[in-house]
Structure 1
Amino acid sequence: MMTNAFVRKLERFGPLDRDERDALDALCAGAVHHRADDEIGQGGQAGTVPLLLAGFAYRFKLLSDGRRQIHGLFVPGDLCRHLYGHLSPSDHVVRTLSPAVVAAVPAAALHGAMERHPRIARALWASTVTDDAVLREWVVSLGRRSAYERMAHLFCEVFLRLRAVGLVDGQSCDLPLTQMDLGDLMGLSTVHVNRVVQQLRRDELIALKGPHLTVPDVAVLGRAADLDPAYLGLEVGPAHPRNAPARVGAA
């Protein structure tokens, strides 16, 4: 089911029964397919919270001279705005990185589900706390980690987040970030990004072919990044096998 990633993400924070899963399914009604580079959650979608069900998206701000800083990366199962973000004007832009499926969840419906189902409310707040922890780690990366550690940390984090929602196939996952995207995320030039990626390849920590990332040993990559997975509420060790949710374009 298309909502599997959302349900799986929330089930990391506690079990959900059938009624609770049905309530989450109902929030995803009317999900829309988007092309890559579509802006989401803006304009006519006031009063809604965008929920990414398939594909990838990112959050960024532009400076007056056009320079871009990416400060959020969304994978399936992620809400692309804070639970109460609809109450104030948006100070950033969210755009798809790849073909994606997004549900514009009415904020009133989301909050209603939280009121009727306390376990959904707890899971959503726990997810929000985790999202805040991710942002703090990104700040630490920009301020203190070397470019090598920064890149390794990002690849390891995204791999773990995708594995948690069943979107890792063995040692590989999709990651449709260009070198320009990586540079705008990490505050590096594309030349520097290329140099660091090549070093990670030479060290056999990753393989990166187009939009596909392979991590031969995520524990080794995590050590190279000085990554403590506690901020994600996850472990570096292998996950229990699950059936992967549908991908964009899948039957």
Structure 2
Amino acid sequence: MLTHNTLDTLRHLKLTGMGDALEQQRAQPETHDLAFEERLALLVDREVLHRENRRLDRLLKAARLRVPACIEDIDYRHPRGLERSRMAALASSDWIRQSLNLCITGPTGCGKTWLACALGNQACRQGLSVRYLRVPRLFEQVRIAHGDGSYGRLMNQLLKTNLLILDDWGMQKITAQQRQDLMEVIEDRHGRGSTLIASQLPTEHWHDYIGSATLADAIMDRLLHGAHRLNLKGESLRKTNAQKTESVDPS
């Protein structure tokens, strides 16, 4: 009876991990031989792990990463210019803590989105907030926010995000209003949050993509000054993988 009351109290206090661990200890007679301090340590460790897992789940859900990717699964065999030492440095997420930016450029299919999501996943695992958006989707959200009065709230959400991933940068021309909106997003985050740009468009063509010379200068200065850059090369990974599949097809 006492144990049931304790379990109810633990769950009332939202100590779910400790409650689960206590039930597990009751079901495992070998833990009864442990000292009180040892059993208590196991309960506390379980609660810490439970909270870390819940936080990670919340961060990943909020990030809305486009693909499930993680740093450990990076394929370095494909010749696209990836260096293990450099990826290890980026995987530390120190650049995010320092509010620096990262630009990943390269041809279609070389893994830009996958790498961006892998770095986003890694940041979430380190307790940092992440948000993934395709640039057209960002512009659409900002347009809607202008109309329904939620613009301030949206901009505040973007500002508070440790890492903002903007994918498909440079895929289509932008309007004067979108150019101004982009400037506001980048300016708000400058020095206060990290932005990861994934684009097929080489950085030397970004000025023409943005359009207005004055705004283009301002946006590029804030995005590229001191930023890390990954310029991927080589054939499409999708094409290479398809060829490998065909070569082992027994039909």
Q: TM-score, structure 1 length as denominator?
A: 0.27
Q: Highest CA radius of gyration, 1 or 2?
A: 2
The answer to which structure has the higher helix fraction is 2
Q: TM-score, normalised by structure 2?
A: 0.27
